[in-house]
Structure 1
Amino acid sequence: MSCPQCFSGHKNPDTPKGRVEKIHGLSTYIAEPAEGTPVKGIVIIVPDAFGWEFVNNRILADHYASAGDFRVYLPDFMNGCAAPVWMMESMGILTGPGHMLSKPYHLVCTAYSFITFLTLNRGSVTWPRITSFFKAVRENEGASLPIGTAGFCWGGKHVVNLADDAIKPSNSRPLVDAVFTAHPSNLAIPGEIEKVVKPISLAVGDKDFVLNLKGVEDIKKIWAGKPDVDTEVKIYEGAGHGFGARADPNTKEAVRQAGEAETQAVDWFKKQFTKVVY
């Protein structure tokens, strides 16, 4: 389950620079480092509700690739059923002042799309699709490279579950070597948090009502009891849900925090990838 905050935010005005290919059965946006630069690892993004075509998610992939020298995959894990981008505008109208005459219209449209998204992207449908893709990458181009994953909002729950290292591909290597998640939604605490055994980094705002500060403190306590697992939690003051993927490009503080979350992810993958030898 997601909440209305998972469908709010802002669109990035920049233009993505990567390419689209069919990878292991899924349409995938691919971003790579500059030509001639050795690839240090593969990062697979499990995006927010707006999916693989959302410009913000593609630009994020571009930034990871250029800053970390990673090959970045942003697959269509939602099989063409991502939330429509217009929902962000509708959510802004519903939660903002004015627009009283148009609010019923936006409420009906948003409710319909909200229910449709949740139905078509329920865990029993998307989890097998996600794990199949990760297995294929590990068994093929990622057999001798570190693999990291970054998950946002809807995707955050999935990458936390990938950190339990419960699924093994045919070469018996882990699906992922490192995990980063920003403002994940619908986490089962303590259940899913206790199962984490792979290095994991969390970015969350102190104004996030999806994963609130009590939940964050619970996570920190659980991970503190796992001395053999490399973990980190960074709290961004004043940031709300979605800040790492859907920051307001016209707000200086929001842009700064989104950039810091990007740096947190890239630095985390760099640190963890240096420990991996296959």
Structure 2
Amino acid sequence: MSFCPQCVQGVRHEGTPEGKFETIGGVKTYIALPTTDYPKDKAILFLTDVFGLDLPNNLLLADDYARNGFQVYAPDLFDGDPVPADRLGPNVRFPSSSPNSDVHTHLDMTQGDFDMTKWRPKHGIDASQPVVEAVVAALKAQGVARLGAIGFCYGARHVFDLAFEHEIHVAVGNHPSLLQLEDFDTYAQKAVAPLLLNTCEVDAQFPPEKQAKADAVLGGGKFAPGYERKYFAGCSHGWSVRGDMSDPVVKAAKEEAFKGSVEWFIKHL
């Protein structure tokens, strides 16, 4: 499992999360609920990046989805051990390389008491999959009949896996990580959940060849349940959850991606 520089870079957003933490299926979960009446049989599973529930940005964004009429559940994918939020920033050291090379995947995050090279092997997708499955099962047991999922970076890998197993009804992936070219063939063959991908210009995890592959396999009406990919120029991997809101291009892109995702859930969930 590898990450790119932008997986651990970005800007902490301002605001106070309004949701609450509860245990769902044995998993610590951040829950954001609408303040008005909402359908109890529908929910959104919010699957985070490597900063997990430690980063306020994730919680604030979950709140935003709740404000649009959805109950939202964000499980702790890392059992209390996410990449620390204080590691977020533009100054994380990486080997010198071009943005699209493979060399950059070897992170050098050993400052202080945190070592990314030790964290990464403990938190592969296989380690967090049981967490996701437990929360999904618990939500279904409490009456959720239709479940949508949105994943950011790391979390988008889980969205694909859930769609493969028909565990979700709607799928959204923002700047996905850890996907291979063959995953789009698998999506076309196995999944039935309408898929929205929010992608960007500078993204070593989801570069042009993966964007093109997704379009070739799923676009142009080939995937009958529904497929759309939105592309945001001037943005880098992670922009939709950790983007610099002082940059008008990034701010507008974040807002457009959010609006498009809400509309996707409204249409299909």
TM-score in terms of structure 2 length: 0.86
What's the counterpart of residue 137 of structure 2?
135
Contact in 1 for aligned 2:110/2:116 (Cα 8 Å)? no
Q: 1:118 aligns with which of 117, 120, 124?
A: 120
Matched position secondary structure for 1:151: strand
Give, in whole Å, the separation in 2 of the partners of 1:38 and 1:129. 25
Give, in whole Å, the separation in 2 of the partners of 1:235 and 1:259. 13
Give, in whole Å, the separation in 2 of the partners of 1:233 and 1:55. 27
Q: 1:178 aligns with which of 159, 170, 173?
A: 170
Contact in 2 for aligned 1:243/1:254 (Cα 8 Å)? yes
What's the counterpart of residue 92 of structure 1?
91
Give, in whole Å, the separation in 2 of the partners of 1:107 and 1:150. 27
Identity of aligned residues (%): 27
Matched position secondary structure for 1:248: coil
What's the counterpart of residue 50 of structure 1?
51
What's the counterpart of residue 200 of structure 2?
205
The aligned amino acid for 1:62 is D
Does 1:189 pair with 2:181?
Answer: yes
Query: Which portions of structure 1, spanning 4 or more consecutive aligned residues, are displaced by more than 4 angstroms?
Result: 37-40
TM-score in terms of structure 1 length: 0.84
Q: CA RMSD in A?
A: 2.0
Q: 1:110: Cα distance to partner?
A: 7.8
Task: Specify whether residues 48 and 212 from structure 1 end up closer, same or farther in structure 2 by C-alpha distance, changes over 3 A only.
Answer: same
Give, in whole Å, the separation in 1 of the partners of 2:213 and 2:127. 29
Q: 1:34: Cα distance to partner?
A: 1.3
Give, in whole Å, the separation in 2 of the partners of 1:108 and 1:36. 47
Contact in 1 for aligned 2:109/2:116 (Cα 8 Å)? no
Give, in whole Å, the separation in 2 of the partners of 1:214 and 1:249. 28
Matched position secondary structure for 2:138: helix
Q: 1:3: Cα distance to partner?
A: 2.3
Aligned residues: 250
Where in structure 2 are there 5+ consecutive unaligned residues? 95-107
Q: 2:224 aligns with which of 222, 228, 233?
A: 228
What's the counterpart of residue 23 of structure 1?
24
Task: Specify whether residues 44 and 110 from structure 1 end up closer, same or farther in structure 2 by C-alpha distance, changes over 3 A only.
Answer: farther
Contact in 2 for aligned 1:205/1:239 (Cα 8 Å)? yes
Contact in 2 for aligned 1:87/1:110 (Cα 8 Å)? no
Q: 1:125: Cα distance to partner?
A: 1.3
The aligned amino acid for 1:210 is Q
Where in structure 1 are there 5+ consecutive unaligned residues? 96-105, 167-173, 274-278
